[in-house]
């Protein structure tokens, strides 16, 4: 009887973790789009997300809910290049959501296996993709080309940020994973170092991009009425979900198999598309949505073709940044950036 109770408790715990991860992952891109719509300062928004994640890990570590490596200057110095690329990936991700809809983000995020496969073959001397893998990459490419060709919201600015995001996230997947694994950090240590160093880097980007001018101008023109509840709630929701996905992603990865975790990540993308279509009009036209689903399906085939292949460039076993995925990526363990 006690064994049945234990199994039942474990089942509900595992189900709760998977559902929590699915909700956070599928909602985060939409929430980030909502946040950047209400709070049009991408550099400051990402800094607040880094602050929330770094403080959250530190506080939960002090309370004994998790264990993270201590922040040491020598390790931080070695980690700096990884954090810099991570910051660029999240920064370009946020600016992409600022200028384009969520569907465009998902299309370009789904194209990463194509560039990762090319980069692994060209620079890391990995074997050429199998026929099934190559076919899935062609499906991804075809869906992406069809989406771009029919995107009525196409702008040079939006797609410039999209290509910048694609380059930085591919660099993070191919190069940074290899570099940071040699530092010996645990998952929460990775999250702490990633977010804290990124927070330190944030002011430099505010000045480089000139965003600080916009912030001070907005404060000066508000005449004391600078606090807006809708922007506050949107930013708070984005920060909270950015941290929650770190917890649920890590916990769900430990509770279920790698294959189940990958399938959950794929389902999350379809949920994101469905939610995005239902809640507002910031989405692609019907043909664009078909191309988007075509691209995601290519990603599913890609995952199937590389599962069990040791040399395959998979993101399913690596800690990465905010899905905020970041679809969801703020230095999160696990998927957060699922293919």
Higher per-residue pLDDT: 291 or 325: 291
**Residue written as token pair 């990402």:** 46
Across residues 161-173, what is the average pLDDT? 84
pLDDT band at 307 (very low <50, low <70, confident <90, very high): low
* Statement: residue 309 has pLDDT above 80: no
Across residues 42-49, what is the average pLDDT? 89
Q: Distance between CA atoms of 204 and 47, rounded to whole angstroms? A: 11
- The predicted pLDDT at position 231 comes to 87
- The predicted pLDDT at position 63 comes to 92
Sequence ranges of the domains in the chain: 16-212+235-308
Three-state secondary structure call for residue 164: helix
Query: 317: which DSSP letter?
Result: T
- The predicted pLDDT at position 155 comes to 80
The number of residues in the chain equals 339
Three-state secondary structure call for residue 56: helix
Global confidence as pTM: 0.71
Say if CB 92 and CB 278 are below 8 A apart.
no
**Residue written as token pair 């939610």:** 275
- How deeply is 271 buried, as exposed, middle or buried, from its count of CB atoms within 10 A (0-12, 13-18, 19+)? middle
**Residue written as token pair 């969520």:** 102
Across residues 129-141, what is the average pLDDT? 79
Say if CB 290 and CB 107 are below 8 A apart.
no
- The predicted pLDDT at position 59 comes to 93
Q: Is 334 left (phi over 0), alpha (psi -120 to 50) or beta?
A: left
Q: Is 210 left (phi over 0), alpha (psi -120 to 50) or beta?
A: left
pLDDT band at 52 (very low <50, low <70, confident <90, very high): very high
Q: Distance between CA atoms of 153 and 158, rounded to whole angstroms? A: 9
């Amino acid at each position: 009887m006690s064994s049945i109770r234990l199994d039942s408790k474990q089942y509900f715990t595992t189900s709760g973790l998977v559902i929590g991860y699915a909700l956070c992952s599928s909602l985060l891109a939409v929430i980030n789009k909502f946040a950047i719509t209400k709070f049009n300062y991408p550099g400051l928004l990402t800094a607040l997300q880094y602050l929330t994640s770094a403080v959250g890990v530190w506080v939960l570590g002090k309370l004994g809910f998790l264990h993270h490596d201590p922040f040491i200057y020598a390790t931080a110095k070695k980690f700096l290049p990884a954090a810099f690329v991570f910051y660029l990936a999240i920064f370009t991700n946020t600016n992409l959501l600022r200028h384009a809809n969520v569907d465009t983000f998902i299309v370009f995020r789904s194209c990463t296996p194509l560039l990762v496969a090319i980069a692994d073959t060209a620079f890391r001397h990995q074997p050429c993709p199998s026929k099934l893998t190559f076919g899935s990459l062609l499906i991804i490419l075809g869906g992406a080309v069809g989406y771009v060709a029919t995107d009525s919201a196409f702008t040079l600015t939006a797609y410039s940020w999209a290509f910048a995001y694609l380059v930085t996230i591919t660099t993070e997947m191919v190069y940074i994973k290899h570099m940071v694994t040699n530092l010996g950090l645990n998952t929460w240590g990775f999250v702490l170092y990633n977010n804290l160093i990124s927070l330190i880097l944030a002011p430099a980007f505010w000045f480089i991009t000139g965003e600080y001018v916009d912030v001070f101008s907005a404060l000066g023109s508000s005449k004391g009425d600078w606090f807006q509840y809708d922007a506050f709630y949107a930013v708070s929701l984005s920060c909270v979900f950015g941290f929650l996905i770190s917890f649920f992603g890590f916990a769900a990865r430990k509770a279920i198999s790698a294959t189940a975790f990958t399938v959950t990540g794929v389902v999350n993308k379809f949920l994101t598309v469905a939610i995005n279509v239902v809640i507002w009009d910031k989405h692609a036209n019907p043909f664009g949505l078909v191309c988007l689903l075509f691209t995601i399906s290519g990603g599913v085939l890609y995952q199937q073709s590389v599962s069990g292949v040791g040399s395959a460039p998979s993101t399913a076993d690596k800690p990465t940044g905010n899905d905020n995925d970041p679809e969801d990526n703020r230095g999160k363990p696990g998927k957060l950036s699922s293919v």
